[in-house]
């Protein structure tokens, strides 16, 4: 949890923090970011909150701040669900807006509470249609997202619950500060589209291997590389594509102090 208040970048009330809290916004040239800032609004993202409903037109897009994760999942007629992708500080929720469809058949749910920078659809489109850096960034992000979806499909087909849990933990971990996740096995089961017992069993194995510690909705990752070794290749494929396609936190770290001064 990011609860420090000394650091100005952590102030929860200033939209200008967007420059450091979301990697897409942070990677924008200063003028583009300035054009968006007046319309950016910080909103809290509560665990379980439904950001988009299937087939419903979106009035806003969301840039999750560090530590906030949004899950895109499809809910079937019988109520069963399956996660399609997750989005954290590296991306944006609401790509259907600029892709042209306006809606998707999937639902977006907050999977890890935090904050997000909310932008009205019209403001996003205005900037997108300048065909500048924002468009390039968003398209690259979309391609990364496509890779994640593809790999989810592959993983669902071929890999065991054990492997998928490891992959999922790692994907979540990459989007969080620290090594602790706040989520029940029930929730994870819903995301993976498997039974809760299956997650219990898989988590138990990881625990006996001393890779994680689990207790009532709180997971602590003890051995990250051990977890990577147990995950299927899917995690690596997605990770490498994200690294290749998206701006790195390091690049932002270089920039942020210069702007803050």
Partner DNA sequence: CCAGCTCGGTGCGCTGTCGAACAGACTTGC
Partner DNA sequence: GCAAGTCTGTTCGACAGCGCACCGAGCTGG
How many residues of this chain interact with DNA, rule: CB under 7 A? Answer: 21
Instruction: List the interface residues with a copy of itself, window 48-77 (CB under 8 A).
Output: 72, 74, 76-77
Residue 112 touching a copy of itself (CB under 8 A): no
**Three-class SS state of 205:** helix
144-179 burial, b if ≥16 CB within 10 A, otherwise e?
bbebbbebbeebbeebebbbbbbbbbbbbbbbbeee
User: Among 20, 152, 172, 185, which residue interacts with a copy of itself (rule: CB under 8 A)?
Assistant: 152
Q: Give residue 128's Cα distance to chain centre.
A: 21
Instruction: List the interface residues with DNA, window 168-227 (CB under 7 A).
Output: 184-186, 193-198, 200-201, 203-204, 207, 214-217
Distance CA(185)–CA(195), nearest Å, equals 9
Measure the CA angle with vertex 205, ends 201 and 208; round to 5°. Answer: 135
Residue 77 touching DNA (CB under 7 A): no
Instruction: List the interface residues with a copy of itself, window 203-222 (CB under 8 A).
Output: none
- Looking at the Cβ atoms of 18 and 144, the one nearer to a copy of itself is 144
Residue 241 touching a copy of itself (CB under 8 A): yes
Q: CB of 182: closest distance to DNA in angstroms?
A: 10
136 touches, from DNA, a copy of itself, none (C-beta below 5 to 8 Å by class): a copy of itself
Distance CA(116)–CA(46), nearest Å, equals 10
Residue 154 touching a copy of itself (CB under 8 A): yes
Q: CB of 232: closest distance to DNA in angstroms?
A: 11
Count of alpha carbons within 13 angstroms of residue 57, beta-carbon side: 7
User: Quick one: tokens of 58?
Assistant: 């979106």
Q: Kindly state the helix (H) or strand (E) to which residue 120 belongs, with its residue range.
A: strand 114-120
Q: CB of 100: closest distance to a copy of itself in angstroms?
A: 4
Q: CB of 110: closest distance to DNA in angstroms?
A: 15
* C-alpha pair distances (Å), 117 with each of 33, 127, 237: 12, 16, 28
Distance CA(66)–CA(253), nearest Å, equals 14
**211: left (phi > 0), else alpha (psi -120 to 50), else beta?**
alpha
How many residues of this chain interact with a copy of itself, rule: CB under 8 A? Answer: 42
* Contacting residues toward DNA, per CB under 7 A: 160-162, 184-186, 193-198, 200-201, 203-204, 207, 214-217
* Contacting residues toward a copy of itself, per CB under 8 A: 72, 74, 76-77, 80, 82, 84, 95-96, 98-101, 104-106, 129, 131, 136, 139-140, 142-147, 149-154, 156-158, 193, 233, 237, 241, 244-245
């Amino acid at each position: 949890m990011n609860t420090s208040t000394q650091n100005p970048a952590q102030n929860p009330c200033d939209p200008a923090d967007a420059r450091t809290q979301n990697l897409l916004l942070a990677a924008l040239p200063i003028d583009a970011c300035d054009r968006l800032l007046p319309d950016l609004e910080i909103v809290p993202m509560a665990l379980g909150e439904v950001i988009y409903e299937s087939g419903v037109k979106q009035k806003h897009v969301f840039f999750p701040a560090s530590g906030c994760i949004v899950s895109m999942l499809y809910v079937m007629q019988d109520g069963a669900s399956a996660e399609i992708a997750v989005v954290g500080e590296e991306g944006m929720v609401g790509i259907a807006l600029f892709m042209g469809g306006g809606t998707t058949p999937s639902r977006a749910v907050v999977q890890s509470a935090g904050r997000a920078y909310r932008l009205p659809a019209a403001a996003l489109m205005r900037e997108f249609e300048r065909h500048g850096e924002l468009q390039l960034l968003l398209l690259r992000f979309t391609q990364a997202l496509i890779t994640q979806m593809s790999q989810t499909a592959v993983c669902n087909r071929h890999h065991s619950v054990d492997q998928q849990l490891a992959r999922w933990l790692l994907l979540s971990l990459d989007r969080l500060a620290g090594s602790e996740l706040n989520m029940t096995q029930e929730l994870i089961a819903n995301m993976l589209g498997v039974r809760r017992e299956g997650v219990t069993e898989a988590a138990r194995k990881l625990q006996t291997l001393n890779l994680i510690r689990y207790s009532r909705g709180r997971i602590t990752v003890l051995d990250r590389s051990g977890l990577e070794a147990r995950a299927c290749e899917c995690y690596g494929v997605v990770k490498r594509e994200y690294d290749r396609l998206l701006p790195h936190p390091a690049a932002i770290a270089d920039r942020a102090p210069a702007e803050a001064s």
